[in-house]
Amino acid sequence: MAINTRYIVANKKYAHIFFDLDNTLWDFEANSIETFRDLFIKYDLENRGIVSFDKFIQVYHKHNSLLWEFYRQGKIVKEVLNIRRFSMALDEFGIGDHLLSSNMAGDYVEQSPTKTQLFPDAFAILDYLSSKYRLHIITNGFEEVQFRKLSYSGLRKYFSGIITSEEAGTKKPDPAIFNYALSFCKADVNESVMIGDDEEIDVLGAFNVGMDSILVDYAGKNNQSKATHRINSLQELYDIL
Ligand SMILES: [Mg+2]
């Protein structure tokens, strides 16, 4: 049997595990798609000329990515992003209906955090880890939205410290949010590990404060990662922790 050398590295004695939420435990993409399906039916888009749900999603993603880029560059505010991604997508199908766009935008923001799709084995691994370690969350996002995701999906009970960028006043990968989380959770950096799906935000963020990290690389694409460990599924956490 081949031995995976990644697991031979002696484990530090961790006491605290910090999890990222979106795209690490909570399946953002799957929950988004589920919300879009609900909206597609609720607003009867098929009979308004959008014959294919997949085509609608594709067009929405195109505008969403473009508008997110403008938002990151500070060219538009969040409220504009929220509505424009819908109005531009609908426009492309010949539906110029401002009320519909703003209703869909409002529903999307309201309903997507109530969706409950998690990555495989999330509950089993959290049951296991919570018997051995103190678990916490560090997430970039709004306090209310992220707490709703945690509550609806049944994840909240596993975590003692839940730190959102809104509450901390700064986002990952800023070292300040990691230091804030460590101090809030009374955790020593040498006894802590960050688990997340994003190399820059989670792994390098942790690295810059001297914290170990585990990259959850679902797509299996990042073989240049600086993470202490790189895994392709949550199940692999049993081998490491
Ligand atoms: Mg993430």
Model confidence pLDDT, tens digit, residues 138-178: 999 889 999 999 999 999 999 999 999 999 999 999 999 99
The HSE-up count of residue 76 (CA atoms within 13 Å, CB side) is: 15
Side chain identity at residue 55, one-letter code? K
List the structure tokens of 189: 């950096």
List the structure tokens of 59: 């067009």
Ligand 1 center from residue 28 Cα (angstroms): 9
Give pLDDT, residue 127: 98
Which of 152, 177, 169 lies closest to 20 in space, CA to CA?
A: 177
Residue 14 to residue 106: CA distance in whole angstroms: 42
Burial 125-155 (b: 16+ CB within 10 A, else e): bbeebeeebbbbbbbbbbeebbbbbbeebeb
Ligand 1 center from residue 103 Cα (angstroms): 27
Ligand 1 center from residue 24 Cα (angstroms): 5
Give pLDDT, residue 8: 46
**Average pLDDT, integer, range 58-71:** 94
Ligand 1 center from residue 178 Cα (angstroms): 15
Ligand 1 center from residue 94 Cα (angstroms): 34
Ligand 1 center from residue 50 Cα (angstroms): 31
Ligand 1 center from residue 163 Cα (angstroms): 14
Give pLDDT, residue 2: 45
Give pLDDT, residue 1: 40
Ligand 1 center from residue 206 Cα (angstroms): 13
Ligand 1 center from residue 150 Cα (angstroms): 14
Which residues lie at CB < 5 A from ion ligand 1? 20, 22-23, 197
Residues near 155 by beta carbon (within 8 Å), at least 6 away in sequence: 21, 25, 26, 118, 122, 126, 149
Residue 21 to residue 19: CA distance in whole angstroms: 6
Domains of the chain (ranges; CATH) run 5-27+118-240 (3.40.50.1000), 29-114 (1.10.150.240)
Residue 205 to residue 174: CA distance in whole angstroms: 6
